[in-house]
Amino acid sequence: MISIETDILAKNNQFAKSNRQLFTGRNIFALNLLGSPGSGKTTILEQTLDSLGMHLRCASSKVINRQTMTRCG
Who has greater pLDDT, 1 or 18?
18
Neighbours of 63 (CB within 10 A): 16
Q: What is the pLDDT of residues 33-72, one digit of tens each?
A: 888 989 998 888 888 888 877 667 766 545 444 444 445 5
> Looking at residues 4-29, what average pLDDT do you find?
89
Closest among 19, 66, 67 to 42, alpha carbons compared: 66
Task: Return the pLDDT at 60.
Answer: 57
Contacts of 57 (CB under 8 A, 6+ apart): 72, 73
Q: How far apart are CA 50 and CA 71, in angstroms?
A: 13
